[in-house]
Structure 1
Amino acid sequence: MSKPFDMELFLAGVLTGSHATRQRHVRQAKIVQAEIAMRWQRETPWAWQRKHVSWFLEHRLDQRSDATRYYYLLTVRLLTRRLEKPWTFYLRASI
């Protein structure tokens, strides 16, 4: 029996800022993880490819406000830093 993945522990080394900011990043990272796991069956960030994260940002957040998308982008950048990947992501301007 395996333990569920602990996103808070995973991000602990790269989280900075106030308690509320750290909690927001953890909460959003768990949402990213759940969406990617549901769509791509990739349970942990170690199994993710750039296309999985890009899909989340482009397709799962397309109906969200610019502010929400920006905060998720910040969380994704933390995940990318923790994974030590050279990935870069940008937000498309909403029309």
Structure 2
Amino acid sequence: MSTPFDMELFLAGVLTGSHATRQRHLHQAKIIQAQIAERWQRETPWTWQRKHVAWFLKHRISQHSEATRYYYGLTIRLLTRRLKKSWVFNL
């Protein structure tokens, strides 16, 4: 039996800002993780490919407000930085 992935521990090194900002990033990262896990069966960000995150942006938040897409984009940049990837997305 495996333990659930701890997104807070995963992002600990790259999270900065106020408590509310850190909590927003954690909440959004958990939503991204859950959606990718449901669709692609990829439980941890270490197993993600660029196409998984692009799918989330295109199919899950494309109908949300511009502000929501912006904040998810910031969270995705944090995830990308933590994964040490050079992924760039057009938001």
Tell me the matched-pair count. Answer: 91
Equivalent in the alignment of 1:81: 81
**1:61 and 1:69 in contact (8 A); partners too:** yes
Equivalent in the alignment of 1:31: 31
- Give 1:62 shift: 1.4
Question: TM-score, normalising length from structure 1?
Answer: 0.94
Q: Counterparts in 2 of 1:55-94, with a 5 A limit?
A: 55-91=55-91
**1:19 counterpart = 2:28:** no
Runs of 4+ in 1 over 4 A off after TM superposition: none
- Structure 1 gaps of 5+ residues are none
Q: Which amino acid aligns with 1:80?
A: T
- Give 1:32 shift: 0.1
Equivalent in the alignment of 2:52: 52
Matches of 2:59 and 2:18, distance apart in 1: 29
Question: TM-score, normalising length from structure 2?
Answer: 0.98
Matches of 2:84 and 2:16, distance apart in 1: 17
CA RMSD of aligned residues (A): 0.5
- Structure 2 gaps of 5+ residues are none
Q: Counterparts in 2 of 1:1-12, with a 5 A limit?
A: 1-12=1-12
Percentage of matched positions with identical amino acids: 79
